[in-house]
Structure 1
Amino acid sequence: MSGSPLAAGSPPDPRDDVVRILIVDDSAVARAVLSRMIEGMRGFAVVGAVSNVPGALAFLASNRADVILLDLEMPGVHGLTGLPDLLVAGQGAKILVVSSAAERGAAAAVQALALGAADTLVKPGVGSFAGKFAETLEERLTRLTDRAGELVGPSRLPSGVPQEFDIVAVGASTGGIHALSQMLRAIPPSFEVPILVTQHLPASFMSYFAAQLAVLAGRPCEVAEDHMRVRPGRMLVAPGHAHLRCVRSSEGVAIRLTDERSVSGCMPSVDPMLESVAEVYGKRGLGVMLSGMGRDGSIGARDLIGAGGAILAQDRASSVVWGMPGAVAASASAVLPPDEIGRMVASQRRPR
Structure 2
Amino acid sequence: MVVDDSAVVRGLETRILESDPAISVIASVGNGQAAVQALDRHDVEVIVLDIEMPVMDGITALPHLLKKAPGVKIVMSSTLTARNAEISLKALEAGASEYVTKPSSSRELTGGTDFKQELVDKVKALGAAARRAGGAPRTLARPAPLTPSPAAAGAATTPSRVPSLHQAGAQIQLRPAANDRPDVIAIGSSTGGPQALFTVLGGIKKAGGITQPILITQHMPATFTTILAEHIGRIAGLQAKEAENGEVIQNGRVYIAPGDWHMLVETKGTDKVLRLTQDPPENFCRPAVDPMFRSIAKAYGRRVLAAVLTGMGSDGARGGKVIADAGGTVIAQDEATSVVWGMPGATAQAGVCSAVLPLPDVAPYIHKFANRRV
For normalisation by structure 1, the TM-score amounts to 0.78
Q: Determine if contact 2:17/2:119 at 8 Å carries over to the other structure.
A: no
Matches within 5 A, 1:1-352: 22-27=1-6, 30-31=9-10, 34-35=13-14, 38-39=17-18, 41-60=20-39, 63-87=42-66, 89-100=68-79, 102=81, 106-115=85-94, 116-122=96-102, 124-125=104-105, 128=107, 131-132=110-111, 136-137=115-116, 139-146=118-125, 157-158=147-148, 161=155, 164-188=181-205, 190-261=209-280, 263-330=282-349, 331=351, 332-349=353-370
In 1, Cα distance between equivalents of 2:18 and 2:284: 32
Q: Which runs of 5+ in 1 are unaligned?
A: 1-21
User: How many residue pairs end up in the alignment?
Assistant: 327
Q: Determine if contact 1:144/1:321 at 8 Å carries over to the other structure.
A: no
> Are the structure 2 counterparts of residues 81 and 343 from structure 1 closer, same or farther at C-alpha, using a change threshold of 3 Å?
farther
Q: CA deviation at 1:247?
A: 2.6
In 2, Cα distance between equivalents of 1:36 and 1:300: 37
Deviations 1:93-150 (A, max 9, x none): 322222347586533344444443312132655x5486226883465223441469x9
Deviations 1:295-323 (A, max 9, x none): 21111100111122111212223323222
Deviations 1:175-194 (A, max 9, x none): 21121112112111743221
Deviations 1:151-205 (A, max 9, x none): 9x98663266255322110111222112111211211174322110011222333
Q: Determine if contact 1:179/1:291 at 8 Å carries over to the other structure.
A: yes
Q: Which moved more, 1:23-32 or 1:206-215?
A: 23-32
> Are the structure 2 counterparts of residues 76 and 347 from structure 1 closer, same or farther at C-alpha, using a change threshold of 3 Å?
farther
> Are the structure 2 counterparts of residues 68 and 227 from structure 1 closer, same or farther at C-alpha, using a change threshold of 3 Å?
same
* SS of equivalent to 1:47: coil
Deviations 1:66-92 (A, max 9, x none): 210101123454322443553454444
Query: 2:195 is aligned with what amino acid?
Result: H
Q: Which runs of 5+ in 2 are unaligned?
A: 133-137, 157-178
In 2, Cα distance between equivalents of 1:258 and 1:36: 36
Q: Determine if contact 1:96/1:121 at 8 Å carries over to the other structure.
A: no
Q: Determine if contact 1:109/1:120 at 8 Å carries over to the other structure.
A: no
> Are the structure 2 counterparts of residues 121 and 259 from structure 1 closer, same or farther at C-alpha, using a change threshold of 3 Å?
closer
Query: 1:343 is aligned with what amino acid?
Result: P
Q: Determine if contact 1:246/1:255 at 8 Å carries over to the other structure.
A: yes
Q: Which moved more, 1:36-45 or 1:329-338?
A: 36-45
In 2, Cα distance between equivalents of 1:267 and 1:135: 13
Fraction of identical pairs, as percent: 35
Q: Which moved more, 1:255-264 or 1:337-346?
A: 255-264
In 1, Cα distance between equivalents of 2:227 and 2:366: 25
Task: Quote the RMSD (CA, aligned, Å).
Answer: 3.4
Q: Determine if contact 2:305/2:328 at 8 Å carries over to the other structure.
A: yes
Q: CA deviation at 1:292?
A: 1.8
* SS of equivalent to 1:286: strand
